[in-house]
Each structure stands twice: as C-alpha cells, then as structure tokens.
Amino acid sequence: MTVGSVSALWRYPVKSVLGEPLLEAPLTAAGVDGDRAFAIVDVESGKVASAKRPQLWRRMLELAVESAEDGALAIRFPDGAAVRLDDGALDGRLSAFLGRPVRLSAQAADDDALDRAIPDEVLALGEDGAAGSTHLTLAQGSPEGGFFDFAPYHVVLRASLDAVRDALGDDSVLVERYRANMVVDLPGLPPFAENGWAGAELRIGPDATLSIIGATPRCAVPMLAHGALPPAPGALTWLVKANRIELPEFGPGTYPCLGAFAVLKTPGVAAVGARAELAA
C-alpha cells in the first residue's frame, strides 16, 4: 500500500467548459457531485460539442462555470457577463459565441457521442487544420451514464503532472489542462505509475474508495489555450514521446496517456489534504 494525500479536487459541471476547484465534495456513483452534469449540444449534428475537435469548438475553453452564493451555476463569457444555466437566453448567447446553433442539455442519453479529432493530426495540421476525427460514444465505462468521455472519475498522480511541467519548463502545464477530477500525491511512486493501476483501489479519506479501470488516453485538449492559460503544444507532444502505451480497450495502436480512469466502489467525501491510499 502506498499512502499520500489529495492535493487537488476539481469538477467540470459543463462538459468542455472550464471547471472549478473544490476544497471538498461528495463522491457518488455518478462522479464528483455535479461533475459533467451538463453538455452543450450541436443542434445540426445532435452530437455533444467538445474541444476535442478544436477546429469547431476550442472557444468553449474560453468559457468558465462559476457557482453563485445560492448554489446556482452560471457560465461566464470572456466579456465578463455571467448567464445562469437556467436562463432561457443562454442557448442564444452560446450559439452567437460559438458560431453554431447549440443548446444546453442536462439529459444524458445512452447514445450521446462526440467527434474526437485525431491528436497526431491536430499536432501536424494545427488547431484550424482539417484533422480527421473519430466517433466517441460517451460514458462507456460509467455505470450511471452521463456526459463523461469514458468513466466518471479521472485521477492523476502529482508526480506525473510535475514530470510534464518540469520537462517542458512550462509552469502553465497544470491539472486544468488535463481536466482531472483529482490529483493525488503518493510519495515514492514514479511519474506515469498510473499506467499500471488497473485493478487497484484508491481509498480517499475514511470512507470513499475508487476502483481503477485503466490509463487515460489523451486528446488534443491539453495543448489548447484554457482561459488565461496560453496554448501549450508540449502538453501533448511530450506525452506522445514519453508515455505512449497500448490500450486494447480503446482499439489497436498506442496512445499518449496521463492519469487513470476510475469508478466508485464506496461513497464518501473527498477533501484537499485528505489521506489517499493506493492498494494494488
């Protein structure tokens, strides 16, 4: 068993929109409470809009979710305007900002999907290039469904984040780029130890336990600008060189990876600073 602590906790209430750091949050079968509860849907295609296809949707990463004092959520636009998610004007405002008719959805369906640009082609052609894409059906590893890429939890080892940042000499390479729910500091484990965590259990605090499914393949999103964070191509290119592994569950070939997917085994509350125990 390896013992450490939770060093960061995040949720992303609207898929592909900037999220919010948390000090503590309930962990449920449907993820960190409120995580990926909403998605922006492209009216024309019916698919979930995602910055994974940067040619169309990278401006989503200029939008941020914020919580009001009454607990209501709003999307803040770059001009400073904040529009609540329950405001009937939000769809029109989002459509004008993104340049395509869209609608906000809180009703995830079993066949929800998005277009995921091929990362190597985005690197070769640029954010505006006509990179090919693959069809990704959402929440295939999530027992409760939802607007998750795969599973309801995404955990990253602090040493892995630090390795990318230090190799690039870029202090803007932060957890926000990889959109993880939880960063755990487990002293003694090397960078990318998550590659071998499949089947392990991660206990958080006195009650919560996550069961690790396997490593997380990366898309083009980490290299894009995130709000005030500038573009950082190295956040993807370095992983392509340093941590590319086979993931048979996602198809043939190798994938640049960082972090691990997980599902809930026992519920509880996670908090920054809480004890974290990894048991193989």
Write down the pLDDT at residue 250: 85
Range of the structural domain that residue 13 is part of: 2-279
- For the chain, the three-class secondary structure string (H helix, E strand, C coil) is CEEEEEEEEEECCECCCECEECCEEEEECCEECCCCCEEEEECCCCCECCCCCHHHHHHHHHCEEEECCCCCEEEECCCCCEEECCCCCHHHHHHHHHCCCEEEECCCCCCCEEEEECHHHHHHHCCCCCCCEEEEECCCCCCCCCCCCCCCEEEEEHHHHHHHHHHHCCCCCCHHHHCCCEEEECCCCCCCHHHHCCCCEEEECCCEEEEEEEEEECCCHHHCCECCECCCCHHHHHHHHHCEEECHHHCCCEEEEEEEEEEEEECEEEECCCEEEEEC
Q: How many domains does the chain have?
A: 1
For the chain (length 280 residues), average pLDDT per consecutive 10?
Answer: 96 97 96 96 97 97 91 94 96 98 95 93 91 94 94 98 95 93 97 98 97 97 95 94 92 93 98 96
Write down the pLDDT at residue 70: 84
The pTM score is 0.95
Write down the pLDDT at residue 249: 85
Read off the CATH number of the domain in which 91 is found. Answer: 2.40.33.20
